[in-house]
Amino acid sequence: MDLTWSPEEEAFRRAAREWLAAHVPSPPLPSGDTRAGFAAHLAWERELFAARWSVVSWPEEYGGRGASLWEWLIFEEEYHRAGAPARVTQNGVFLLAPTLFRFGTAEQRARLLPRIAAAEDLWAQGWSEPEAGSDLAALRSRAVRADGGWRLTGHKTWTTRGAFCTHLFGLFRTGPQDARHRALTYFLVPLDAPGVTVRGFQRLDGDEGFAEVFLDDVFVPDADVLGEVGQGWTVAMATTGSERGLTLRSPGRFLHTAERLLELAREVGSGAHRDRVAQAWIDAQAYQWFTLEQVTAIAGGHEVGAEASLAKLFWSELDVRLHETAAELLGPEAELAGPWSKGFLFSLAGPIYAGTNEIQRNIVAERLLGLPRR
């Protein structure tokens, strides 16, 4: 693993750093999980696109710069170092788009990717259902064959920013219930289609970013089936690999949080939690090295599979440790509203979303360690 940046990569870093220094909003934007905050973030996302920084690793024909995976990591480091806003388009950019590149038809890629890059189509994830959260294969929402397409009926919940999005991607059952994951198909659904009802609701921190989506005989044409009919599980696993692995949670985010934690420790001036601060910072560096190793393997032709579960376990628990340590440093002040308290509440969701950590440990045990299923 050669970690020497080339002159071209160093130039890419300088260009990204300079642009971000000149354009990152100040003061920081309000939460993107509120309606007003979402609108402000959307304006930022479109400014990113206009400067061709929204999807740097995508081909130029879709709005990207054709940057390498290494350059994407460099951009992510600089993005978080600059304190740039969280990406409210992350479901489309980091989850759906990699799946479209792999399983989408040429027509789907040409139609959908430029609109994702430009923050024109805003995608919500339609995985969870009231009786099928982490057990995705148990979902009950159905799709029935119709002339020229499918009729979708069901109920999705916990859709992040679903109340503000324009489209939903998700799995629907196209075969018998007892076939579980072998009878699912991946659909792309416009949320303004007749028969769709979106109802927002509040999260633990009071933001209104969650929604549940009801589908009542919603027509979706064949052109909006992603991958083969009945092969939705395979397509979805590619999406969850992106969600659990490096594309959604690049190390730049945690390196930046670890640096903020160091600054906080210096400001507070207490040595009481010195070891924990040091360990949290070391863990963030370790996640970066793990990611660099993964990128090296991908560049060599390796396909990330169950290893994504290792990454998910690590970054989700690291995020909790970083914020717990900050809360201990702040003492009673940690109860006050602010970036650390907001980040702490959000970090608590990390071991749950993108597949609970209990599920990830099962995957690691069975697929990576070869342990028997109980």
Tokens of 18: 């300079």
**Contact status, residue 174 vs residue 185, Cβ threshold 8 Å:** yes
Find tokens 């792309």 and name the residue. Answer: 188
DSSP 177-197: GGGGGGGEEEEEEETTSTTEE
Stated length of the chain: 374
Greatest Cα pair distance in the chain: 69
Q: b/e per residue, 91-127, with b = 16+ CB within 10 A?
A: bbbbbbbbbbeebbeeebbeebbbbbbbbebbbbbbb
292 Cβ partners below 8 Å, 6+ apart? Answer: 1, 3, 73
Between CA 36 and CA 39 the distance in angstroms is 5
CA distance 131 to 134: 9
Distance between CA 279 and CA 25 in Å, rounded?
A: 32
The answer to whether 243 is a known catalytic residue is yes
Residue type, 34: T
Nearest-angstrom CA–CA distance, 122 and 87: 11
Cβ neighbours, 10 Å, residue 373: 6
CA 201, 349, 355: angle at the middle one, nearest 5?
100
How far is residue 255's CA from residue 257's CA, in Å, rounded to a whole number?
5
Tell me the three state secondary structure of residue 219. strand
CA distance 94 to 219: 26
Give me the catalytic one of 243, 259, 263, 317: 243
CB 56 within 8 A of CB 67: yes
Task: Look up residue 69 and give its two tokens.
Answer: 């995976």
Active site residues: 243
